[in-house]
Structure 1
Amino acid sequence: MADTVRGIWQSIVQTKRLYLNPHEQFGRANICRAALVSYVGMYFLFKWNQNRKAEIARAERKAAKAIAAPVHH
Structure 2
Amino acid sequence: MVTRAAITSTSAQHDYYAALISAGNFEQLSAHLSIGKQNGISQSEIVEIITHLAFYVGWPKAWSAFSLAKEIYNSSEK
TM-score (normalizing by structure 1): 0.32
Q: Greater helix percent: which structure?
A: 1
Of structures 1 and 2, the one with the larger relative CO (CA 8 A, separation 6+) is 2
Using structure 2 for the length normalisation, give the TM-score. Answer: 0.31
